């Protein structure tokens, strides 16, 4: 056993060689005292030797969890979309920093993580708690990379069971058609917006960011290049997309082409009306004076139209789920659906719409059985 133990006053201590300083190349020793007996000191020395031999020993540190969280966020936020960075900062300030306060990161155990989650679940939905826990885990992974801790203590924190994809609300072809017909009779602009969302599966912020130059009418396709976002610092503005896979080309049907042409014609009429007061950003779905529309503003109108049309309630984002689900029910290639939605991989699409996959699987089973029986 490397190192030695000795008695200091009424207590025992151990001293062990922990290698060389990477900067000065001088030998470093670690001493720890305060053990009541020689046996306790020897046991602790054995454990340290084991960790050193296995390469898992880390020098004790007074660095707090919050200090690492702040360092992680300042480094990581430059790669985030501004709205995402703003959301992360809000969760850190509201839920994470107050809870961990001056806790040393090396003192954290799995029980601390579970207690944290259980406390959050008293007032927040599981989906919100999941987002907060994700930030905590990313901070701990960052500390592992910096070799401040050997492994993340929160890897196996349990969360309530997620709702299955069967709970994902979508409309049928008939319901989507009913909504489109009702919306067209009620408000042409919002009919165009919501119909386009249902027919393309695009996010509302992406639709609000469509420019005339992004549309290839000849080949019936649209390049998704930007979105509309609103942040506290910069207000409402055009922004880059959230992920690389979100930059994509979406094929358009004749109805979508007619919607875009109708919007361009309407915008041209407003240009003539507003003249120099028209702010031309080249947008398709915009205010009458050409200005950007807040993404949150379309939610209220969507909810209102659903109620008037007496249809099952879904969120506006569920038009995206509806589009994907209906495509899968039509036996569309999952890779095509993934590309259309801007998913990073086919696996994301298949996992998200596994309930639809099961329906498709049943159809395949029937076809197989019929073939065998024939």
Query: Which has the minimum average pLDDT: 33-37, 62-66, 89-93, 191-195?
Result: 33-37
Say whether 43 sits in a helix, a strand or coil: helix
Strand order of the β-sheet with 4-8 is 4-8, 11-20, 27-35
pLDDT tens column, 21-75: 666 677 777 777 888 898 888 888 887 776 666 655 556 678 899 999 999 999 9
CATH class of 65-145: mainly alpha
Residue 20 has pLDDT above 90, yes or no: no
Q: How confident is the model at residue 163 (pLDDT cuts 50, 70, 90)?
A: low
Mean pLDDT value across residues 227-245: 90
Name the average pLDDT for the chain.
87
Mean pLDDT value across residues 177-190: 95
From residue 304, how far is each of 24, 166, 288, 314, 315 by CA, in Å?
Answer: 70, 25, 21, 11, 11
d(CA 235, CA 213): 24
Residues 154 and 140 sit within 8 Å (Cβ to Cβ): yes
Q: How confident is the model at residue 2 (pLDDT cuts 50, 70, 90)?
A: confident
pLDDT value at residue 320: 94
pLDDT tens column, 111-132: 999 999 999 999 998 889 999 9
Residue whose pair of structure tokens reads 């898992």 in the numeric block = 56
pLDDT value at residue 43: 86
From residue 59, how far is each of 9, 17, 21, 360 by CA, in Å?
Answer: 25, 12, 12, 56
pLDDT tens column, 204-227: 999 999 999 999 999 999 999 999
Domain pair 65-145 / 167-362, same fold: no
Q: What is the dihedral of CA 338, 299, 214, 290, to 10 degrees?
A: -170
d(CA 60, CA 128): 33
Q: What is the dihedral of CA 253, 259, 265, 269, to 10 degrees?
A: -170
**Token code pair at residue 189:** 């602009």
Say whether 275 sits in a helix, a strand or coil: helix
pLDDT value at residue 208: 97
Query: Which has the minimum average pLDDT: 6-10, 167-171, 316-320?
Result: 167-171
* Percent of the chain with pLDDT strictly greater than 70: 87
pLDDT value at residue 361: 59
pLDDT value at residue 48: 72
pLDDT tens column, 255-314: 999 999 999 999 999 999 999 999 999 999 999 999 999 999 999 999 999 999 999 999
pLDDT value at residue 55: 59
**Token code pair at residue 184:** 């067209």
pLDDT value at residue 21: 63
Cβ count near 118 (within 10 Å): 12
- Helix, strand, coil distribution of the chain in percent, nearest 5: 55, 15, 30
d(CA 324, CA 227): 20
Strand partners, 222: 215, 250
Residue 234's contacts (CB-CB under 8 Å, 6 or more residues apart) are: 82
Say whether 155 sits in a helix, a strand or coil: coil
d(CA 321, CA 345): 16
pLDDT tens column, 337-362: 999 999 989 988 887 876 665 555 55
Residues 323 and 330 sit within 8 Å (Cβ to Cβ): no
pLDDT value at residue 329: 85
Q: Where are the domains of the chain?
A: 4-54, 65-145, 167-362
CATH code for the structural domain at 167-362: 1.10.443.10
């Amino acid at each position: 056993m490397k190192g030695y133990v000795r008695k200091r006053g009424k207590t025992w201590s151990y001293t062990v060689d922990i290698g060389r300083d990477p900067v000065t190349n001088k030998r470093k020793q670690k001493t720890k005292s305060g053990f009541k007996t020689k046996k306790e000191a020897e046991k602790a020395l054995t454990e340290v030797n084991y960790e050193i031999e296995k390469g898992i020993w880390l020098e004790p540190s007074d660095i707090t969890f919050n200090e690492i969280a702040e360092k992680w966020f300042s480094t990581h936020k430059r790669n985030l979309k501004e709205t995402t960075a703003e959301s992360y900062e809000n969760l850190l300030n509201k839920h994470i920093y107050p809870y961990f306060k001056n806790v040393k990161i090396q003192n954290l155990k799995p029980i601390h993580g579970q207690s944290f989650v259980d406390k959050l679940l008293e007032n927040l939905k599981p989906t919100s708690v999941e987002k907060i826990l994700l930030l905590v885990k990313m901070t701990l992974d960052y500390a592992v990379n910096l070799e401040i801790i050997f492994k993340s203590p929160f890897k196996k924190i349990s969360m309530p069971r997620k709702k299955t994809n069967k709970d994902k609300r979508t409309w049928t072809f008939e319901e989507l058609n009913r909504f489109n017909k009702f919306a067209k009779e009620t408000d042409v602009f919002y009919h165009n917006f919501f119909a386009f969302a249902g027919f393309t599966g695009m996010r509302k912020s992406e639709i609000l960011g469509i420019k005339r130059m992004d549309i290839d009418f000849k080949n019936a396709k649209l390049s998704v290049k930007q979105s509309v976002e609103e942040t506290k610092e910069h207000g409402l503005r055009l922004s880059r997309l959230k992920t690389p896979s979100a930059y994509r080309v979406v094929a358009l049907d004749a109805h979508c082409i007619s919607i875009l042409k109708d919007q361009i014609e309407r915008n041209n009429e407003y240009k003539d009306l507003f003249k120099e007061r028209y702010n031309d950003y080249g947008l398709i779905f915009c205010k009458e004076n050409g200005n950007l529309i807040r993404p949150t503003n379309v939610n209220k109108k969507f909810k209102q139209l659903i109620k008037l049309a007496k249809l099952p309630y879904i969120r506006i984002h569920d038009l995206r789920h509806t589009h994907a689900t209906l495509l899968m029910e039509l036996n569309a290639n999952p890779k095509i659906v993934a590309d259309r939605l801007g998913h990073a991989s086919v696996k994301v699409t298949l996992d998200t719409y596994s309930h639809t996959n099961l329906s498709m699987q049943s159809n395949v089973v029937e076809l197989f059985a019929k073939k065998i029986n024939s």
